[in-house]
Chains A and B, each alone.
Chain A
Amino acid sequence: MIVAKYRKSELISNYTILTILALTCILPILLLFFNSIKPQEEFGINPLGFPITIRFANFVDAWFIGEYAQIFLNSSKLVIGTLILNLTVSGLAGFSLAKLYPRGSNVFLVYLLVGVSIPAQMFILPLFLMWKELNLMNTHLGLIIIYAGLNAPFATFLIRSYMIQLPDELFDAAKIDGANTLQLFYRIALPISWPVFLTTGLIVGLNVWNEFLFALTFVHDDAKKPIATILFAFQSRFENNWGLVNASAVMMMAPIVILFMFFQRRFIAGLTSGASKG
């Protein structure tokens, strides 16, 4: 559908403006990529252009000097752990809210809405003190629980809004066949709701991979830090080794770029899902 019809001259100016704006979005990211394959000596003469000599060894250096095998493992553990915990609990709750019609569930929905409005700064210090008491500081489990909790309202709402449109007859039929409530969930609701779990998983995974504030506060041990806070430490430790710092950033970005290529629509729909429902 074309909202407004344009003359040819107008079309040209439209494309020009849009192209300039698109370049301001993309060129800085391209520059990061160029600089990740640029040898250190070249930064003095050619800091902003395509590298004259290409040096992929920056990635090897970053991998070994930065001990990236460990850091990637840390970040992956956080993402996978959060996904398992978050999708399980949010899936159960979303299913119940959509299909089991619990009395008083409106109160819970309001609770979740207030929950998303609370700024993280409000509770981060008491949470820090609680985690210290519980010996969850500096552990991945501690961070996984936090991430699962922070992402719970979003995931619950999204899963609920998908399951609400599943026909009730489907569940009635299974009930007649003698399925209990838990079976209704994992035999029927789960297999047909995989698209919403995929979308939710992608967004929650992205949030965890990119998260900074809680990772900064709750993990101080370098060997346990995820990529986001390790990169933050690198920026001061290897301040002038631009090839290495940029190669590290590209490695952090790579999984997201790859997933985005396959699942653009899901990412966009998931990240903007709050807007369409208002």
Chain B
Amino acid sequence: MSVFFSKNSIAWYFIIPVLAIHFMVVALPSLLSLALCLTDWNGFGKINYVGLENFYELFDDRYFKKAVWHNIIWTFLFLTVPIALALTCAYLLTGITKGQMLFRLCFFFPYMLASIISCQIWKFIFHPLYGLPAWLNSKGIDFIPAVSPFTVKETSLYAVAFVDGWHFWGFLVVIYITGMYQVDNSLYEAADIEGATKFQKFRFVTLPLIRPIFIFSIMIIIIWSIPTFDYVWILTQGGPAYSSEVLATNLYSQAFDRFNVGYSSAIGTLMFIYTIFIVSIFGVLRKLGWEI
């Protein structure tokens, strides 16, 4: 039997189709991006090698720096508010039996909505004429101005993050509660005998035992906060006056409005390096026996 029909070759034939598609869609263009970030190509003319010029330019570009800063804020917001809410919520859910499944479905459902739909819902709720603030104003509660927070420089980023967070946090509830159910009941009974309070039980029993899932959630939030695009693009397109510009929208307009291939590849490359850096940190921690 020739080597082409050996057991091992046949096993690989089964893998080749998926490898081919994934390589063509993800790996090959990523490699091209790594090469193009060292050029000044604009998509049409000659390709000139410019070394690290794009990166020097980036670090001088104040819109890029603004976008980086906004991504940092974004990451920080998602690492605090949704996690705190979801932990509380999951912990409360474990204490009830009636209607638990219904609650879970309610929390989870927004996670399945398309970004375009979540955005449309909240655009209407914040609408200056029809929305909630306008309605409150008409009832005499007027400390909230009836303007859409998406169109105000000071609030646009936070308003967009709020909508994305609204869509996302139910996902955390579900993964935390899955973890909490794997905790052995006898541990809580032991804690009860020791006279632990609810908070102590949460802090010293629940939290350490769901640590793998908790760390996992922190990792994906850090990773997913970098390429965040849909919500910003649909709600504000990075505006007004770049007040909600993030890396992904910055890259997108560099790439598809201005066709700065080299420049936008440089942004993409930095995003990639950062992501790999974060993943490796968690990988190293795991190697060090952190049980994550």
Contact = CB atoms under 8 A, between A and B. Distances in A.
Q: Do A and B bind each other?
A: yes
Interface of A: 1-6, 10-11, 14-15, 17-18, 21-22, 24-26, 28-29, 31-32, 35, 43-44, 47-48, 85, 88-90, 92-93, 95-97, 100-103, 105, 108, 111-112, 114-115, 117-130, 145-146, 148-150, 152-153, 156, 181, 185, 206, 209-210, 212-213, 216-217, 228-229, 231-232, 235, 242, 245-246, 249, 252-253, 256, 260, 264, 267-268, 271-272, 274-276, 278
A181 B11 CA distance: 9
Contacts of B236: none
Nearest to A230: B116
Interface string B185-199: 100100010000010
Given A14-B92, A47-B130, A100 B22 contact: no
Contacts of B279: 117
Contact of A126 (B19, B36, B110, B122): B36
Given A31-B125, A108-B19, A121-B227, 10 more contacts: A3-B183, A93-B15, A93-B19, A102-B15, A122-B271, A129-B261, A185-B14, A210-B112, A260-B109, A267-B112
Scoring A44, A228, A278 by chain B CB atoms within 10 A of each residue's CB, the highest score goes to A278
Contacts of B171: 271-272
Interface of B: 7-8, 10-12, 14-15, 17-19, 21-22, 24-30, 32-33, 36, 43, 85, 88-89, 91-97, 103-117, 120-125, 127, 129-132, 134-135, 166, 170-171, 174-175, 178-181, 183, 185, 188, 192, 198, 201, 206, 212-213, 216-217, 220, 223, 226-227, 229-230, 233-234, 247-248, 251-252, 255-256, 261, 264-265, 267-269, 271-272, 275-276, 279, 292
A29 B29 CA distance: 38
A149 B26 contact: yes
Contacts of B179: 275
A22 B121 contact: no
Given A97-B15, A121-B267, A212 B115 contact: yes
B268 A123 contact: yes
Contact of B120 (A48, A213, A217, A231): A231
Given A126-B36, A253-B117, A43 B201 contact: no
Nearest to B96: A14
A232 B234 CA distance: 7
9 contacts: A3-B181, A5-B192, A17-B92, A112-B22, A122-B268, A125-B255, A125-B265, A217-B256, A275-B217
B271 A121 contact: yes
Nearest to B182: A276
Given A122-B269, A125-B268, A152-B22, A206 B15 contact: no
A130 B174 CA distance: 39
Given A96-B12, A112-B22, A228-B114, A245 B120 contact: yes
A218 B19 CA distance: 22
Contacts of B276: 114, 117
Contacts of A252: 114, 116-117
A212 B8 CA distance: 40
A15 B96 contact: yes
Given A48-B132, A90-B18, A11 B96 contact: yes
Nearest to A149: B25
A29 B93 contact: no
A5 B191 CA distance: 12
A24 B122 CA distance: 12
Contacts of A90: 18
A93 B21 contact: no
